[in-house]
Amino acid sequence: MSAQIPSSTLSKPILVTGAAGRVGSTGTAVVKELLKRQLPVRAMVREAGERSEALAKLGAQIAVGNFTDYASLGTALDGIETAFFCYPVADGIAEATGLFAAAGMENGLKRVVNMSVSASGPSNPSPHGRAQWVSENILDWADFKCIHLRIDAFFHELLLLHTQFIQTEGVIRNSHGDLAVNWISGEDAGAIAASLLVDPDQTSEPVVYPTGPEKLTYAQVAELITSIVGRPVRYEEVTPEAYRDILDVVLQGKNPRAVNHLVSQSINLRNHLKPLPTNDLTERFVGRQPRTIREFILANQHALTPHSS
């Protein structure tokens, strides 16, 4: 049996950044999993509101902080030895990680579980993949004991990016073509992170690649949606340029970094990389079966059902 973190350390709050996140909601999942284990949690959120109030009702301490505000990071990290670092697919990750690492060093931070991406690398075509690699290195240079979770899968929740076109046209459009990709739920990714926050000795590897339990093409996902919602949903391959235009519409032009990352990944995965074989890290680290994409579709039928013409 692997060695647990000393109980004296676990009596201190574990800081969870990105605790009220949106797509994937891994931070929220980490908070819930840690509270389920009856551990003290400090949830860092950008602003107080309904989502932070919901976390407080569950039992989390709330710290309002911003990755660009060094003073607020210091307040969030005060008395913290273990933290979950999660930055969205957006501009500014290198600066944010540098400020977080400096504040962590100043406040005695020792351990970090970092939510990263499989695209992390200095030469990856995705600008976010390159920036994520810089972020990983900053945390390592700060001499924290780090575990980097490079998620080698698409979050189930990414399907919700297609709801507008599913509802109006019964179609999923992107440039992934017939490539089968791994799928993982944000809940499972968060649960894996929480388990490694509690017991980092479950792995000797500084980089871990959760894949989720399933490998499906988008056409197969469309067929699965059809079988569940009872109305036809099809997959249509488009060019990377057309996919970029679709994402600009869906994200309302507010997140060009996410658009560039998703389009770059569709090109890179098809031309150069192949998703890893699926693995059992959810069972291994969390002790339960992983969530399936069928379960996600069942829970989100209203959003994934085409409207009647």
pLDDT tens digits, 114-143: 999 998 999 988 889 999 999 999 999 999
- CA 274/CA 270 separation, integer angstroms: 7
Q: Are 305 and 160 in contact (CB under 8 A)?
A: no
**What type of residue sits at position 2?**
S
Q: Which residue has the tokens 């950044």?
A: 17
Q: Is the pTM of this model over 0.85?
A: yes
Q: Report the interhelical angle of 256-271 vs 127-141 (nearest 10°).
A: 100
CA distances to 45, 141, 164, 287 from 236, rounded to whole Å, are: 38, 44, 15, 37
CA distances to 156, 157, 286, 309 from 299, rounded to whole Å, are: 11, 11, 22, 23
CB-based contacts of 167: which residues, under 8 Å, 6+ apart?
A: 303, 305, 306, 307
- CA 145/CA 116 separation, integer angstroms: 15
Out of 3.60.150.10, 1.10.8.60, 3.40.50.720, 1.10.10.10, which CATH number does the structure's domain 7-156+184-212+276-286 have? Answer: 3.40.50.720
Paired strand residues for 117: 151
- CA 290/CA 268 separation, integer angstroms: 27
For 132, the token pair is 């994520």
Q: Are 196 and 147 in contact (CB under 8 A)?
A: yes
Q: Check the CA dihedral 62-67-73-77 and report its sign.
A: positive
Q: Report the range of poorest mean pLDDT among 6-20, 31-45, 58-72, 198-212.
A: 6-20
Q: Check the CA dihedral 144-122-27-269 and report its sign.
A: negative
Percent above pLDDT 90 for the chain: 81
Q: Residue 198: left (phi > 0), alpha (psi -120 to 50), or beta? A: alpha
Asked whether the predicted pLDDT for residue 1 surpasses 70, the reply is no
CA distances to 31, 100, 116, 244 from 146, rounded to whole Å, are: 19, 14, 12, 34
24 band by pLDDT with thresholds 50, 70 and 90: low
Mean pLDDT of all residues in 219-239: 98
Mean pLDDT of all residues in 161-172: 96
Mean of all residue pLDDT scores within the chain: 92
- CA 235/CA 226 separation, integer angstroms: 11
Strands of the sheet containing 145-151, edge to edge, are: 61-64, 41-45, 14-16, 82-85, 111-117, 145-151, 207-208
Domain ranges of the chain: 7-156+184-212+276-286
pLDDT in tens, 261-302: 999 989 888 776 677 899 999 999 999 999 999 999 999 999
